[in-house]
Structure 1
Amino acid sequence: MIQIDVVMPRLFTEGVSDLQARFALESGSLTALVGPSGSGKTTLLRLAAGLETPRQGRIVVDESVWLDTQQRINQPPQQRSIGYIFQDTALFPNMTVRENITYAAPMNQQPLVNELIEATGLESFVNQKPARLSGGQRQRVALARALVRRPQLLLLDEPFAALDAQASQTLRQVLLDLHRAWGTTTLLVSHHEVDVLALADRVIRLVQGRIETDERINKAEWAITEPITRIEYNQIQQYWYIETATTQLQSTNPAWSQRKVGDLIQVGPGT
């Protein structure tokens, strides 16, 4: 269980006010933080990571107190068991994929490094440097590097923002598979509804630094309707390929031959 209770002055679009958030994260859960730009989502991640200090607050992870302003406890980021993935990945440009991941790994953990390289589908790129990778590949390296220390809390700040639909879909699946396999407690900031609904089991909406709603997601019920932006048929593998603004779909259903660009399609369970 991770308990977060913080108050911090912040400049919002409507003026100076307090970011004031109090909530608990169940172990192994994946919670999404959503809301308008400037509502305090990234600031909340930075407070959890120890990159900023609130005016008052308390953060307790299991039995470990990371922050207690009354007791003057404030563990620095390197002493908090966190993995943090930024939108720009922040990889070391002079290191290869393997070296970036190994650098963050504990001593004598090469088997874990190899496991994560395989789990993220990076085997063919281990000797490449970040400049030679696509945006989606760099985010997968960042994910492996964040998980290699087995963090108690994984923080994801808009990891899909700069990716195209195909790269987003691949990263979503990799992230979901690793989350299920490792059970890491995760806090995700995203503006993309399809990413939130595909990954999160709970959504907290921030508005002007306050929690407006806090809801569980029933994945059996959600669905999003989007226009088709691309459709084609793969003659060799005999399936239809459809792309929308946020995802990609494949099907051998012959009824898909009647679809065309601009048609609306439902993205969600059972699609």
Structure 2
Amino acid sequence: MIEIDVVMPRLFTEGARDLQVKLALESGSLTALVGPSGSGKTTVLRLLAGLEIPRQGRIVIDDSVWLDTYQRINLSPQKRSIGYVFQDTALFPNMTVRENITYAAPQNEPTLVQQLIEATGLETFVNQKPIRLSGGQRQRVALARALVRRPKLLLLDEPFAALDAPASQMLRQVVRDLHQSWGTTTLLVSHHEGDVQALADRVVRLVQGRIETDEQPSVMDQAGRRVERIVRIDYDEQRRIWLVETTFTTLQSSNPIWGKRSVGDVFYT
């Protein structure tokens, strides 16, 4: 469980007021933080990361206190178990893909580095430097680097914003697969409805520094399953995989069960 209760003065479009956010995030959940520009979304991420300090507040992660202004507790960013993916990736330009990921890894964890390289589909780019990569590839490197520390909290700040539609769809799938397989609690900031609908199991809307709504996206059924509809399905003979485009994302799978599915079919994830 991740609990955040913070108050911080900020200047919003309608004037100065306090950002006041109180949230409890279930472990393993993926929550989208949405709202208009300047509503305080990125500030919340920075407060969790320890990059900004609130006037008053408390942040507790699995009974570990990261921040308590009354008790004068404030762990440095280095001591907080977080992975942070920025919109601009912030990769080291003089390092290769493998070196960027390894730099953030715990000591003696080459297996973990290789697992993430494979999980993000970066095997053929491990010796390339960031300047030689596409925007989507750089974001996959940033995601692998953020996860290599096995953080308790993964913060994603508009990771899809600068990507074209195909790259964005591919990265969504990578994020969702890694979130599910690694069980990391994730907080995603996004302006794009497609990102939210494809990934989030909870949507919190901020307006002028206050929570306006807190709800599940409409694509979840009563059992808590995500409902998706197939809009295109093809088989790639050369790679022997199914390419499935749904209402919200694109999947790639070698599972023969997709051969029994058709456009318009509904399935649950």
TM range (shorter): 0.7 to 0.9
| Separation in 2, partners of 1:26, 1:150 | 17
Deviation at 1:63, TM superposition (A): 1.5
Most deviating of 213-222 and 94-103: 213-222
The residue that corresponds to 1:112 in the other structure is 112
The 3-state SS of whatever aligns with 1:28 is: coil
Deviation at 1:79, TM superposition (A): 0.4
Runs of 5+ consecutive residues of structure 1 not aligned to the other structure: 225-230, 257-265
Asked if residue 146 in structure 1 is aligned to residue 143 in structure 2, the reply is no
Deviation at 1:50, TM superposition (A): 0.2
Give a deviation string over 1:121-169, Cα, whole Å, max 9, x none.
0000000000000000000000000000000000000000000011011
Deviation at 1:216, TM superposition (A): 1.8
The residue that corresponds to 1:174 in the other structure is 174
The residue that corresponds to 2:160 in the other structure is 160
Could you say if the C-alpha distance between residues 28 and 247 of structure 1 is closer, same or farther in structure 2, counting changes exceeding 3 Å?
closer
8 A contact 1:6–1:57 mirrored in 2: yes
The 3-state SS of whatever aligns with 1:8 is: strand
Could you say if the C-alpha distance between residues 22 and 235 of structure 1 is closer, same or farther in structure 2, counting changes exceeding 3 Å?
closer
8 A contact 2:172–2:249 mirrored in 1: no
Deviation at 1:218, TM superposition (A): 4.8
| Separation in 2, partners of 1:152, 1:14 | 35
Letter in 2 for 1:79: K
- Identity percentage of aligned residues: 76
The residue that corresponds to 1:227 in the other structure is none
The 3-state SS of whatever aligns with 1:98 is: helix
The residue that corresponds to 2:192 in the other structure is 192
Could you say if the C-alpha distance between residues 242 and 175 of structure 1 is closer, same or farther in structure 2, counting changes exceeding 3 Å?
closer
| Separation in 2, partners of 1:138, 1:116 | 14
The residue that corresponds to 1:262 in the other structure is none
8 A contact 1:122–1:137 mirrored in 2: yes
Asked if residue 211 in structure 1 is aligned to residue 218 in structure 2, the reply is no
| Separation in 2, partners of 1:249, 1:186 | 21
Could you say if the C-alpha distance between residues 249 and 96 of structure 1 is closer, same or farther in structure 2, counting changes exceeding 3 Å?
closer
Equivalent positions of 1:50-129 (< 5 A) are 50-129=50-129
8 A contact 1:197–1:219 mirrored in 2: yes
The 3-state SS of whatever aligns with 2:37 is: coil
Measured on the aligned residues, the alpha-carbon RMSD in Å equals: 3.1
The 3-state SS of whatever aligns with 2:170 is: helix
